[in-house]
Chains A and B, each alone.
Chain A
Amino acid sequence: MDTLPKLSLPARILGLCIAIVLTLIGAGFGFAQGASVQIIILSAIATMALFTWGWRYVLGQFLEDGQEATDGPTPLGRAWLAYRWPLLGLALILLAFIVLSLTVEGFFNIWNVISLIILLAILILTRTLGRQFQQNRSAFIGIMVLAGLFSVGSMNIEGFASGNNIKSMLLFASFLGIASIGQTLVALLGGLDLSIPFIIGAANVGLLYLMGLGVPPWLATILVLAIGALLGTINGLLSYKLQGQALIVTLGTGFAISGGVQIVTSIGSAYGGNVFGTVPAWLSNISAMNGTTFGLPFPPVILIWGLIALILILGLRLTVYGRFLYALGVNRTSASRVMISEMRYWVMMYTLSGFFAALTGSLLLGWSGGGFIGVGDQYLFLTLAAVVVGGTSLLGGAGGYGFTVIGVLVLQVLSSFLVGIGLNFQWQQFIFGLLILPMVALYARSPHIRTQI
């Protein structure tokens, strides 16, 4: 990614021509639909720049392997060896499609055929092109899946690509995204944080409880966030001391936290576990569907998530803290040899995890308008799934928050798609489970034991 590879002159000219044609087509459509001139100019520039960059980047990946092996099986045999799994997959998908067309009435229509073609294209692209991406293969596959799902969804489902649906997808994605920050950071060290859902629930209930006591809302929010960070610190200390037991330690502290907060909030209250109260208008504006950001019609939580994601991605890439984090994740012995304090990073990452979990809980309060301890329950495995689908290794050292963002978006678009085609919650969960495995298998296969000796 540092330096783009050099292309030959004809290739560059060809790319430029295609880019210009594409830009002209886009501009023509823009004028035909009567969009404002500024938007057309902006989108034209964006198309041009993106395509030129993409052309060089993608083509450049092919230039590396010039030499071909001369001995071995015939070219056809080699192609079969290299691409047998995608070919088998293609055959399976075609078979499934034919069977479905023959059995289900009205299945064979133009939209489904186009969806099938897109699916096949994705499969081929991920296997052929994805081979060339050594560094960011999971991100590439994630983006391909995202694009495919989105296009299939917008063709088959009424209102899938409408502004409202995209807004709601982004809203839920930003909750999940903020909740997964901690999980990503901790996973980069090789740990796990299962206390996230409990801290989310506790922050959700605790914030409303504090406001009900008459604490000013801003002070209550700061208090809740600080307590979240404190709990994270405790988690970090404990799981640093008990190396390798992070899963069970954070689970234990999670149980204790959620129990403790509920006991505190139910003292003097007749409703065990549920807290009632009014949420201040600014908090519900931040995370409600009809919220506005500086007058623009989208809830500020999306902007918040975007900003945090940007800071984190850049921070992990460019700052010394980020590089040290990766160093620790890859090999902690050598990292501690170069004077990186292992304990400091564990505590820091778990503290951030607790802080962002508390933030998610507070934001979810603004969304729902009522405190409920179980609000974070689904995030227990969803945060893990987002991290894993994005491509961050749970063993530490590989991945990053940018990957998790892609994972979050994939999960969110997928669930929106499944809701759109009329599947209820249990089927969604089933399909989620079945899809995680092949997606991870595409890029996160560990080497055979033979090669590790």
Chain B
Amino acid sequence: MTAPQAATDAKASIEPQGGRSNPFLLMPISLFFALLAFAVLRSPNLITSAGIGSAIIVATPLILATYALMASVISGRGTVDLSIGPLIGFINVTLIQLHGAGYLGNPIAVFLYAMLAGALYQFLFSLIVIYVRVQPIIVSLSGYLALSGINLVILPRPGGMAPEFMAEWGYGTSIFSPILAILVLASAAWLLFTATAFYTHLRLMGSDERAAYTSGVPITTVRIGAHLISGCFAGLASICFTALISSGDPSQGTTYTLIAVTALVLGGASLAGGRGGVFGSALGAVNLYLITFCLSSFNFGAVQSFVTNLAYGTILVVSLLLTLLIPVIQRRIRNFSPLLYFVVLSVVVLGIILHATYDYAALGTAGLVLTDPVQMQAVLVGPLEIGVVDAGTEALRLQVAPMVFGVLILIVVAIFLRLAVGQSSRKSIGPAVTVILAGLVLASALFISQEAKRQTKDVPATEAGN
């Protein structure tokens, strides 16, 4: 009974972000697209090669720190590893000092060292939790204090040099950087891991440890394994962090604790254990980055950091409160599909991005970044004002209209299919959604390329006309 059960569970969890409903992704997805649309309207240069590149560089350490936290949080018993930030800082400062002393020359040694150091610390952590049987949060509190103290001893003030091969990683001039590769590989590794029985055991143990123990799950091994994975992610996060600041910093890493916990919760994971995923965690971390990005596009003068704090706290509390609505929504919509929701919203936001990129360019207005200190009027209206529509834009709109119409039809078809299949006995419409997604991507690629061609032809013409 249990073996086939486990097998089907494992099979189902291969695509936990797919057809299986995970309504807790509703909130991070909505927030992500709302923030993305806002960010693009505020400063269209986010969607350029350099813009996305720098976003990846800045957000990756946070995303990986959230992964590291997630791996241990899923294991239950209220394991919120407060020491994850100081651990990242610890690997960072020891890496810098060892490099300064002449060790750790080549990349392989650096990666091995970082991941081993993280794994070793987490191994110790799990042993204490298992055998000394102290509450994990106390162990992590203890680790937080000890590590953030020893970091300052190892490297009293920021400084040092990152290994040479990391030097240009932190520039963020293009999308495809080694940092992106690390991020993609780490996410893929977690997704592969979700296909194993070990992951099923981990989730079972996280949601009910007694049930797991009585049904023969080796909880000791599973807990140690979860912590080892968390340690490896912490090592990767530390490498990305080192590349970002390209030096050592004893106190900066410590701040990652609170941000990573926040990102994890924003991403829909449960701090009590048993629920959490790589998709939600990444979205939560990116959301936090986008919040800071949006706020930094305003100029509040001396109170900038205070406004950031205020907005940060408010968004956190409000989005937590909104999760209270999820049971209500769930009662209405049975088979919520995060993927479909994602696709629908991404189409809408794609439209906004195109609007921001092309319309603003066509209007010839400068960027909307405010230069004066706070003006309530400008804050409220700024993101939405378009200005006078000229003939060129009018023509562009006419040309775009069929495209928009086509996209809308596609959305309608998708929703229709979704409902139709949802009403029938089949559980998943993954293939259908994937086909539509591919169609949309192709259509938008075609559209963008044509648009680019047209623009190169048109711009001189309109200039001549003016």
**Pairwise interchain contact B210-A432, C-beta atoms closer than 8 A:** no
Q: Which of B146, B303, B312 contacts A429 (CB 8 A)?
A: B146
**Pairwise interchain contact A437-B317, C-beta atoms closer than 8 A:** no
Once A272-B303, A433-B143, A444-B134 are accepted as A-B contacts, the answer to whether A253 and B210 lie under 8 Å apart by CB is no
Q: Tell me whether A241 is interfacial, beta carbon within 8 Å.
A: yes
Across the interface, which residues of B come within 8 angstroms of A257, CB to CB?
313
Q: Tell me whether B281 is interfacial, beta carbon within 8 Å.
A: no
Smallest distance from the beta carbon of B170 to chain A beta carbons, Å?
27
* Residue from A393, A395, A433 having most chain B Cβ neighbours under 10 A: A433
Complex: A388 Cα to B306 Cα, angstroms: 32
**Pairwise interchain contact A436-B141, C-beta atoms closer than 8 A:** yes
Chain B interface residue count, CB cutoff 8 Å, equals 52
**Pairwise interchain contact B139-A437, C-beta atoms closer than 8 A:** yes
Across the interface, which residues of B come within 8 angstroms of A428, CB to CB?
149
Smallest distance from the beta carbon of B295 to chain A beta carbons, Å?
11
A232-251 near B? 1/0 per residue, CB < 8 Å: 00000010011011011101
Q: Which of A259, A270, A395 contacts B307 (CB 8 A)?
A: A259
Once A254-B313, A426-B150 are accepted as A-B contacts, the answer to whether A440 and B134 lie under 8 Å apart by CB is yes
User: Which of B31-39, B177-185, B258-266, B421-429 interfaces with chain A?
Assistant: B258-266
Q: Tell me whether A252 is interfacial, beta carbon within 8 Å.
A: yes
Q: Which of B150, B314, B323 contacts A430 (CB 8 A)?
A: B150
Once A247-B261, A436-B142 are accepted as A-B contacts, the answer to whether A241 and B321 lie under 8 Å apart by CB is yes
B309-342 near A? 1/0 per residue, CB < 8 Å: 1111110110011011000000000000000000
B121-145 near A? 1/0 per residue, CB < 8 Å: 0000000100011110111011111
Complex: chain A residue closest to B311, CB-CB: A259
Across the interface, which residues of B come within 8 angstroms of A270, CB to CB?
302
Smallest distance from the beta carbon of B216 to chain A beta carbons, Å?
13
A-B contact count (CB 8 A): 162
Q: Tell me whether B80 is interfacial, beta carbon within 8 Å.
A: yes
Across the interface, which residues of A come within 8 angstroms of B370, CB to CB?
none
- A221-275 CB contacts (< 8 Å) to partner B: 238, 241-242, 244-245, 247-249, 251-260, 262-263, 266, 270, 272-273
**Pairwise interchain contact A252-B146, C-beta atoms closer than 8 A:** no
Q: Tell me whether B54 is interfacial, beta carbon within 8 Å.
A: no
* Residue from A238, A245, A448 having most chain B Cβ neighbours under 10 A: A245
Complex: A425 Cα to B251 Cα, angstroms: 13
* Residue from B128, B141, B307, B323 having most chain A Cβ neighbours under 10 A: B141
Smallest distance from the beta carbon of A171 to chain B beta carbons, Å?
23
Complex: A254 Cα to B313 Cα, angstroms: 7
Once A430-B150, A433-B149 are accepted as A-B contacts, the answer to whether A251 and B310 lie under 8 Å apart by CB is no
**Pairwise interchain contact A433-B147, C-beta atoms closer than 8 A:** yes
Q: Tell me whether B272 is interfacial, beta carbon within 8 Å.
A: yes
**Pairwise interchain contact A242-B321, C-beta atoms closer than 8 A:** yes
**Pairwise interchain contact B272-A244, C-beta atoms closer than 8 A:** yes
Q: Which of A238, A263, A453 contacts B306 (CB 8 A)?
A: A263
**Pairwise interchain contact B317-A253, C-beta atoms closer than 8 A:** yes
Complex: chain B residue closest to A382, CB-CB: B145
Across the interface, which residues of B come within 8 angstroms of A434, CB to CB?
142, 146
**Pairwise interchain contact B146-A453, C-beta atoms closer than 8 A:** no
**Pairwise interchain contact B135-A433, C-beta atoms closer than 8 A:** no
**Pairwise interchain contact A259-B312, C-beta atoms closer than 8 A:** yes
Across the interface, which residues of A come within 8 angstroms of B151, CB to CB?
426
Complex: chain B residue closest to A447, CB-CB: B133
Smallest distance from the beta carbon of B308 to chain A beta carbons, Å?
7
Smallest distance from the beta carbon of A290 to chain B beta carbons, Å?
32
**Pairwise interchain contact A266-B310, C-beta atoms closer than 8 A:** no
**Pairwise interchain contact A259-B306, C-beta atoms closer than 8 A:** yes
Complex: chain B residue closest to A256, CB-CB: B313
Q: Tell me whether A449 is interfacial, beta carbon within 8 Å.
A: yes
Complex: A381 Cα to B307 Cα, angstroms: 25
Q: Which of A244, A425, A427, A445 contacts B133 (CB 8 A)?
A: A445
Complex: A272 Cα to B141 Cα, angstroms: 32
Q: Which of A256, A394, A432 contacts B145 (CB 8 A)?
A: A432
Q: Tell me whether B152 is interfacial, beta carbon within 8 Å.
A: yes
**Pairwise interchain contact B316-A252, C-beta atoms closer than 8 A:** yes
Complex: A440 Cα to B128 Cα, angstroms: 12
Q: Tell me whether B416 is interfacial, beta carbon within 8 Å.
A: no
Q: Tell me whether B271 is interfacial, beta carbon within 8 Å.
A: yes
Smallest distance from the beta carbon of B455 to chain A beta carbons, Å?
42
Smallest distance from the beta carbon of B142 to chain A beta carbons, Å?
4
Complex: chain B residue closest to A248, CB-CB: B265
Complex: chain B residue closest to A260, CB-CB: B310
Across the interface, which residues of A come within 8 angstroms of B272, CB to CB?
244
Q: Which of B141, B258, B308 contacts A388 (CB 8 A)?
A: B141
**Pairwise interchain contact A242-B303, C-beta atoms closer than 8 A:** no
Across the interface, which residues of A come within 8 angstroms of B316, CB to CB?
248, 251-252, 255
Q: Tell me whether B213 is interfacial, beta carbon within 8 Å.
A: yes
A2-15 near B? 1/0 per residue, CB < 8 Å: 00000000000000
Across the interface, which residues of A come within 8 angstroms of B156, CB to CB?
426
Q: Tell me whether A452 is interfacial, beta carbon within 8 Å.
A: yes
**Pairwise interchain contact B313-A248, C-beta atoms closer than 8 A:** no
Q: Tell me whether A70 is interfacial, beta carbon within 8 Å.
A: no
**Pairwise interchain contact A259-B310, C-beta atoms closer than 8 A:** yes
**Pairwise interchain contact A430-B306, C-beta atoms closer than 8 A:** no
Across the interface, which residues of B come within 8 angstroms of A448, CB to CB?
133
Complex: chain B residue closest to A426, CB-CB: B152
Q: Tell me whether A173 is interfacial, beta carbon within 8 Å.
A: no
Q: Tell me whether A385 is interfacial, beta carbon within 8 Å.
A: yes
Across the interface, which residues of A come within 8 angstroms of B80, CB to CB?
247
**Pairwise interchain contact A251-B135, C-beta atoms closer than 8 A:** no
* Residue from B128, B142, B272, B308 having most chain A Cβ neighbours under 10 A: B142
Q: Tell me whether B148 is interfacial, beta carbon within 8 Å.
A: yes
Complex: A107 Cα to B324 Cα, angstroms: 62
Q: Tell me whether A104 is interfacial, beta carbon within 8 Å.
A: no
Across the interface, which residues of B come within 8 angstroms of A252, CB to CB?
262, 312-314, 316-317, 320
**Pairwise interchain contact B145-A248, C-beta atoms closer than 8 A:** no
**Pairwise interchain contact B145-A436, C-beta atoms closer than 8 A:** yes
Complex: A46 Cα to B428 Cα, angstroms: 78
Once A247-B261, A433-B149 are accepted as A-B contacts, the answer to whether A445 and B132 lie under 8 Å apart by CB is yes
14 contacting pairs across A/B (C-beta < 8 A):
A251-B258, A252-B314, A259-B310, A262-B309, A263-B306, A425-B149, A426-B152, A426-B156, A429-B149, A430-B149, A433-B146, A433-B149, A437-B128, A437-B142
Q: A251-B258, A255-B309, A259-B312 are in contact. List 20 more A-B contacts (CB 8 A).
A: A238-B321, A242-B321, A244-B272, A251-B316, A252-B320, A255-B312, A259-B308, A262-B309, A272-B303, A273-B306, A381-B141, A381-B144, A388-B138, A393-B135, A430-B153, A432-B149, A440-B134, A440-B138, A449-B210, A453-B213
Residues of chain A having any CB pair with chain B under 8 Å: 238, 241-242, 244-245, 247-249, 251-260, 262-263, 266, 270, 272-273, 381, 384-385, 388, 393-395, 425-434, 436-437, 440-441, 444-450, 452-453
Which 8 residue pairs of A and B lie closest in terms of their CB atoms, listed nearest first? A433-B146, A256-B313, A259-B309, A433-B145, A255-B313, A259-B310, A429-B149, A430-B149
